[in-house]
Homo-oligomer: A and B are copies of this chain.
């Protein structure tokens, strides 16, 4: 999956990410990946659902992958963080 088709979910308002996904589709992408870690995973699902139900009505969820990444915090400790990748296609 090319990085350029991936929308990374952070701390901005939900609609920012919805628009980023919609713009990806409208610029010709047939597939967009929504990727989030930790607490942002819930937001990734919201973004996928809003795109699918309200903006790109012919898009659908092709696949959803979950995994675990190790992150090193400021104190040097390693923590496990869950990751989700939602593959939307149209």
Contacts and interface: CB of A to CB of B under 8 A. Distances in A.
Interface string A59-90: 00100101110000000000010101010000
21 contacts: A39-B39, A39-B42, A41-B41, A41-B42, A41-B45, A42-B42, A42-B82, A45-B82, A45-B84, A46-B82, A48-B66, A49-B66, A49-B67, A49-B68, A49-B80, A49-B82, A53-B68, A61-B66, A64-B64, A64-B66, A66-B86
A38 interface: yes
Interface of A: 38-42, 45-46, 48-49, 53, 61, 64, 66-68, 80, 82, 84, 86
- A45, A46, A67, most chain B CB atoms within 10 A: A45
Contact of A42 (B38, B48, B53): B38
